[in-house]
Amino acid sequence: MLALFLGGKSGKGILRVLISESRKTSYIVIEKDKCKACQYCIAVCAKGVIGLSKDFNRFGVNYAEPIAEKAHECTGCKSCAIMCPDLAISIYRSRILEGDTIS
């Protein structure tokens, strides 16, 4: 199961990807306006889940974002969040039951 969400408190600047393997879910949240495209997160991701966007952020750089086709491979290890010098990445884990609706 994979769902993309755009939004946040202001409705701008946050890309959320829901990764689900059976009943375990992890959310990768990358705040694009904090990202300076250092690519440390891309280098440490063992599954190659994070790549550079084709779009630009307020710094005029291609910010990091989860690759939608590979997002389900994320293990939620937090290596990307630990390496991010700008604290632009957060990982959240939760449980979702089959049949739940995500809005």
The 10s digit of each residue's pLDDT in 10-65 is 445 455 555 444 456 777 889 999 999 999 999 999 999 999 999 999 999 999 99
Task: Give the closest residue to 103 by CA, choosing from 30, 31, 4, 1.
Answer: 4
- pTM of the predicted protein model: 0.69
∠ CA 43-4-28, rounded to 5°: 40
- Alpha carbon distance 98, 39 (integer Å): 35
Number of domains observed in the structure of the chain: 1
Q: Is residue 101 included in any domain, yes or no? A: no
CA 54 to the chain's CA centroid: 15
Burial class of residue 34 in the structure, from the number of CB atoms within 10 Å of its CB (0-12 exposed, 13-18 middle, 19+ buried) = middle
Q: Is residue 42 included in any domain, yes or no? A: yes
Q: Is residue 25 included in any domain, yes or no? A: yes
Strand partners, 50: 66
Boundaries of domain holding 18: 2-95
Q: Is residue 67 included in any domain, yes or no? A: yes
Q: What is the pLDDT of residues 54-67, one digit of tens each?
A: 999 999 999 999 99
Q: Is residue 6 included in any domain, yes or no? A: yes
Q: Is residue 36 included in any domain, yes or no? A: yes
